Structure 1
Amino acid sequence: MTVTCGIDWAEKHHDVALVDQTGKLVAKRRISDDAHGWRTLVELLAEHGDRPDAPIPVAIETNRGLLVSCLRATGRKVYAINPLAVARYRERHTVARSKSDHADAMTLANILRVDADHHRPLPQDSELVQAIAVLARAQQDAVWNRQQLANQLRSLLREYFPAALKAFHVKNIGLTSREARAVLQAAPTPTAAAQLTARRLHVLLRASGRQRNIETWADRLQAVFGEEHLRRLPLVEEALGRQAQALLLQLDAACRAADDLADATGEAFHQHPDAAIITSFPGLADLTGARLLAELGDDRTRFADARALKAYAGAAPITRASGKSLVVHHRKVKNQRLAAAGYVWAFASLRAPGPRAHYDRRRDDGDRHSSALRNTFNRMLGCLYHCLQERKEYDELAAFPPRGGSACPDSVEDHVA
């Protein structure tokens, strides 16, 4: 590696610095964030030895944006360096806390010059898996937004309309259901809900998409709305109802977005060759499997081994040792999206005998629910890594052999908490 490139990213422009193997600055340039700036960068790299068979590696403080996408498309190694790490590297050369965009670009280039082996380049994922990542992350954001709006609506209804919470506090039916959204939009106040007739409720339930037990649901809702509850003053109640209707409009849009994105994510996920392997695992369906694939990618060289993957997902513990002090606890710095999908996966996998036995054994050893579930995720993640590397589908006996047998290679370390 003779020349390395550092780019200090900004919204409208980027500072570029190129250094040689001795750390000497050989070129610097400020480029705009557009096609002209991209051409300037390509020409600058070509002037200093950039070739298709030996591209100059680039360090930048972000892994997003059009500039990063174009750099990755050239096939070169692109390193996304955390800004906090860049600040620590900057302090190696000065304690005056001086800072400039050009100095940060040089710091990034020098990071690659001296410590490239200690940083991971962005994976060379296929175009399909990048598209799946966009859809899966957008769907996950929509789900989180939907739940946030549902929590806001629940808090509001507690202030003036507790009957609505009671009416839709049913298994698999909540405020995000189509039935709840349709009924509350038509009757957002206790006064309006008490005036709903059985016929009107039939129409609302059918319009929401419900096809079974409509008569039972209409009778139950009419009974709940007719019960005696504490009430607000009429004008205050009407104002709160208008606020609830506004929240319902946002919640309805969030629910529709989550459903549409889920369909698009599942359709794209089924086109990927890894889909059959991922969904062969217990607890993994189309949506959860797509979220896992989005964060893992399909670059088989991204993780050196299963331990690296487990650390990236936050499933492996972290040890802090100093003198006689030794503390082992869960990781806080991790891929939060992968960790969230892993929690859902581990919980859903408990229906299978192997993961359930492993979870129960950890609980018997004194682990709390979250710790035992995280350990189960750790085990399943190791098995997934092995299956993806070997192009094999999940085998219950290989992943969870009888006590005394040997588990699948690189699958887990049972002693890990």
Structure 2
Amino acid sequence: MTITCGIDWAEQRHDVAVLDHDGRVLARRRIDVGVRGFTELVGLLNDLAGGPSGLDGRSVPIAIETDKNLLVVALQSAGFTVYPINPLAVARYRDRHGQAGKKSDADDARVLADILRTDAHRHRALPEVSEHGREVKALARQHQEAVWAMQQTANRLRSILLDFYPQALLAFPNLLHKAAQAVLTAAPTPAHGARLTSRRVVTLLHRCGRRNDAALVEHIVG
């Protein structure tokens, strides 16, 4: 019997739905995000896929709305075929089949399983990745997330300074520059900034690699 699985993932728990080839719901589960939940999921798929066919759970294709989290890595490492489905495609599928209305995680899990049941050929499974490849992918993702977090922090700081310390923005339009960070650390408020001397600013700029920049020193102190 051909069966498909859909997982609506979340930070606190995952909703799982398994359908047979006719679209009947064979099982629904809400599992933990840790090892216990993953073990429960694998056991469920093994039980449902086994039956007369003698297959194991790894024969069950799994649809999920991401290709990045630890659950996906664990599923691939365990030998499952994972289909990352774009959330917009899930929404369109739900609307096309008259399932619009209040969204629920359990229903989304069933919709994901149904997408694979009827339209698996329209979606691409994640390729198998070596252990080294997974490590590189994880590092690249962490780097990108760090860059995004840094930019978000700079944007929040810019918003605060605009209201509280606009002189700092005039001196340092680029808040990510080392010179901006050094001077703002030494003079975090307008009162501290007013007490900065040219000599102190030169010292701070030297520490971050800016030397003989009299115009910048005058701009900051002035």
Q: Aligned residue for 2:31?
A: 32
Amino acid at match of 1:40: E
CA contact (8 A) 1:31 1:41 kept: no
Kindly report which structure 2 residues correspond to 1:18-29, keeping only aligned pairs within 5 A, or say none: 18-25=18-25, 27-29=26-28
CA distance in 1, matches of 2:107, 2:44: 18
Q: 1:114 to 1:221 in 2, by over 3 A?
A: closer
Q: Aligned residue for 1:109?
A: 113
Local SS of the residue matching 1:6: strand
Amino acid at match of 1:28: A
CA distance in 1, matches of 2:153, 2:169: 16
Q: Aligned residue for 1:224?
A: 219
Local SS of the residue matching 1:22: coil
Amino acid at match of 2:110: M
CA contact (8 A) 1:19 1:106 kept: yes
Q: Aligned residue for 1:165?
A: 170
Check if 1:80 corresponds to 2:84: yes
CA contact (8 A) 1:58 1:77 kept: yes
Local SS of the residue matching 1:49: helix
Per-residue CA shift, 1:146-203, capped at 9, x if unaligned? 344445555636976648735x57xxxx44222332233324545213xx143x3443
Q: 1:136 aligns with which of 134, 140, 148?
A: 140
Q: 1:101 to 1:175 in 2, by over 3 A?
A: closer
CA distance in 2, matches of 1:44, 1:98: 28
Q: Aligned residue for 1:3?
A: 3
1:57 CA drift (Å)? 0.7
Q: 2:59 aligns with which of 32, 40, 55?
A: 55
Local SS of the residue matching 1:19: strand
Amino acid at match of 2:195: A
CA contact (8 A) 2:3 2:18 kept: yes
Local SS of the residue matching 2:59: coil
1:71 CA drift (Å)? 1.3
Amino acid at match of 1:17: A
Per-residue CA shift, 1:70-126, capped at 9, x if unaligned? 211122211122344334333455467476554433332222121101011123223
CA distance in 1, matches of 2:2, 2:63: 15
Per-residue CA shift, 1:248-289, capped at 9, x if unaligned? xxxxxxxxxxxxxxxxxxxxxxxxxxxxxxxxxxxxxxxxxx
Q: 1:63 to 1:158 in 2, by over 3 A?
A: same
Q: Aligned residue for 2:93?
A: 89
CA distance in 2, matches of 1:127, 1:2: 30
Amino acid at match of 1:20: D
Q: 1:71 to 1:82 in 2, by over 3 A?
A: same
CA contact (8 A) 1:163 1:224 kept: no
Local SS of the residue matching 1:5: strand
- TM-score, with length taken from structure 1: 0.42
Q: 1:134 to 1:12 in 2, by over 3 A?
A: same
CA distance in 2, matches of 1:78, 1:96: 25
Kindly report which structure 2 residues correspond to 1:157-306, keeping only aligned pairs within 5 A, or say none: 162=167, 165-166=170-171, 174-187=174-187, 188-189=189-190, 190-193=193-196, 196-198=197-199, 200-206=200-206, 208-210=207-209, 214=211, 216-217=212-213, 219-225=214-220, 227=222
Task: Give the CA RMSD over aligned residues.
Answer: 3.6
CA contact (8 A) 2:49 2:57 kept: no
Amino acid at match of 2:170: L
Q: 1:192 to 1:138 in 2, by over 3 A?
A: farther
CA contact (8 A) 1:31 1:40 kept: no
- TM-score, with length taken from structure 2: 0.72
CA distance in 2, matches of 1:154, 1:94: 46
Kindly report which structure 2 residues correspond to 1:393-408, keeping only aligned pairs within 5 A, or say none: none
Identity score, percent: 46
**Structure 2: gaps (5+ residues):** none
